[in-house]
Structure 1
Amino acid sequence: MPRFFIEQSPKPGEKIIISGNDYNHLKNSLRLNLGDRVILSDGTGFDFEAELSDYLDSAVELEIIKKEKSAVEAKLQVWLAQGLPKKSKLDLVVEKATEIGFSGLIPLEAERSIVKYDNRKKAKKRQRWQRVAEAAAKQAGRAIIPEIKEVMSPVQLKNLKNEFDYILLLWEDENQFSLKKFFQNYSVTQTAKILLLVGPEGGFSAAEVEQYKKELGALVITLGPRILRTETAGITALTAVLYEKGELGDLND
């Protein structure tokens, strides 16, 4: 069934109104009729099956049939702190990471980031990435839209240190400590919150790596012998982490 996100959390039997872009998509693109059903998500992990009950002027009325906890969302929370890349690469990262199941993104100003945004451009980019996340969440059948944080400097990122159980820095010059060894050495719970630090084109400098190790307590890991592009590294690590904890490829949990 088509999926839409709503701000409220209604009860079965209640009726809600959808207008704006979602109304246009529902009526003109999907061409849904009265009696057809859709899935509504409140953004907190709950899904609502709803039936179209009436078309109004520039809006549609839906009746809530049932409410249930989504079985789609991962218990493990994985965030990406992505060094700002060129062009539209971050759009791709947000889209694919949302489909795979990440919790949110911190766009990160890095020493080797080529792009530099002023405050106005940062705000516009954040809005764009949030729209990409919402569209990808709908497509993937997710019940939560990943949160896109404001573009941050390393100093600002430091303030979020205590929000994460583990901070992993992906670095191409690391050749000893792998993601597999991380899971072997640490008892990562199913509900842990993990931050993956990914450098821009050219990766993190040695000075940045030492800074993040000292200030964030970051663990430096390798993803293997091959050098991955910046838009590939985070997605690859996210996939591996979720798979390791049974959040991908397992239908029994």
Structure 2
Amino acid sequence: MHRFFIDQSTEIGKKVFISGNDYNHLKNSLRLDLGDRVILSDGNGFDLEAEIITYQTESAELKILTKEKSKVEPKIKVWLAQGLPKKSKMDLIVEKATEIGFSGLIPLESKRTIVKYNQKKKAKKRSRWQRVAEAAAKQSGRAVIPKIKNFCNSNNIKSFKEKFDYVLVLWEDEKKTTIKSFFKENEIAAEAKILLIIGPEGGFSEAEVNRFEQKLEAEIITLGPRILRTETAGIVALTAILSEKGELGDEND
């Protein structure tokens, strides 16, 4: 069934309305008839099966038939603090990370960031990436749309420490600690909150990495002997973490 997101939580038997672009997609693109059913996600991890009751001038009225907790959302919450890449690479990162199961993105400005955005451009980019996340969430059957947060600078990162249980920094000069060894050495709770910090095309300076260690108590991680592109590194690390926690279809150890 087709999936739509609503910005409210509701119960079985209640009615909801879909308007705007989703209404146009429902009625004119998909050409769904009265009595057809869709899945609505309320943004809180619940899937609601709903039946189309009526089409009005600018909205569709639906009745909630069933409500259940989604089984597709990972218990572990992984965020990416992604160094700003060039061109449209962030679109790809957001799209694929959403499909795999990340919780959200913090666009990160750092010393070696090549692209520079003014405040107006930042707002446009953030809005665009949020739309990419929503589209990817619909396509992949997610019950929650990952959040795209405000831009952050690597010099102003203290707040990260309070929001996450663990902070992992991917750095090409690290030779020892891998994601697998990190999980072996730490008892990571099933619902832990992890922040992955990924550098831009030029990587992080040693001073930045030291700052992450000192201010965030971050663990510096290697992804192996090969140097990955910035648009690849976060996706690989995210996949590895979800795999370690049995969130990709395999059983937990």
Q: Partner of 2:104 in structure 1? A: 104
For 1:17 and 1:215, the matched residues in 2 are separated by 46
> Deviations along 1:4-50, whole A, 9 cap, x unmatched?
00011121111111111001101111111111100001101011100
- Same amino acid, percent of matched pairs: 68
- What does 1:75-90 align with in structure 2 at a 5 Å threshold? 75-90=75-90
- Cα separation, partners in 2 of 1:142 and 1:245, compared to 1, 3 Å: same
How is 1:164-175 mapped onto 2 (pairs within 5 angstroms)? 164-175=164-175
- Cα displacement string for residues 106-125 of structure 1 (whole angstroms, at most 9, x for unaligned residues): 10001111011111111111
Alpha-carbon separation, structure 2, partners of 1:123 and 1:160? 21
For residue 15 of structure 1, what is the aligned residue in structure 2? 15
1:146 aligns with 2:160: no
The question of 1:180 aligning with 2:180 is answered yes
Q: Is the 8 A contact 2:246 2:252 kept in 1?
A: no
Superposition map of 1:8-87 within 5 A: 8-87=8-87
Q: For structure 1, which segment, 34-43 or 159-168, has the greater mean C-alpha deviation from structure 2 after superposition?
A: 159-168
User: C-alpha separation between the residues in 2 aligned to 1:178 and 1:68?
Assistant: 37
Query: How far did 1:249 drift?
Result: 2.5
1:90-137 CA distances to partner (integer Å, 9 max, x unpaired)?
Answer: 111000000000001110001111011111111111111111111111
- 2:34–2:53 contact (8 Å) kept in structure 1: yes
Return the offset for 1:251: 7.1
Find the aligned partners of 1:58 and 1:65 in 2 and give their Cα distance. 23
**What is the aligned residue count?**
253
Conservation of the 8 A alpha-carbon contact between 2:109 and 2:152? yes
CA distance in 1, matches of 2:202, 2:118: 22
Q: TM-score, normalised by structure 1?
A: 0.97
1:137 match:
137
- Partner secondary structure for residue 10 of structure 1: coil
Whether the aligned pair in 1 keeps the contact of 2:34 and 2:52 (CA below 8 Å) is yes
**2: CA distance, partners of 1:251 / 1:217:** 30
Deviation at 1:79, TM superposition (A): 0.4
2:201 maps to amino acid: E
How well do the aligned residues superpose, as a CA RMSD in angstroms? 1.3
Larger CA deviation: 147-156 vs 45-54: 147-156
Corresponding residue for residue 228 of structure 1: 228
Gaps of at least 5 residues in structure 1 are none
Partner of 2:125: 125
CA contact (8 A) 2:245 2:252 kept: no
Distance 1:165 1:14 in 2: 38
The secondary structure found in structure 1 opposite 2:144 is: coil
Q: What is the alpha-carbon distance in structure 2 between the residues aligned to residue 242 and residue 39 of structure 1?
A: 25
Q: Distance in 2 between matches of 1:24 and 1:240?
A: 39
Alignment gaps of 5+ in structure 2: none
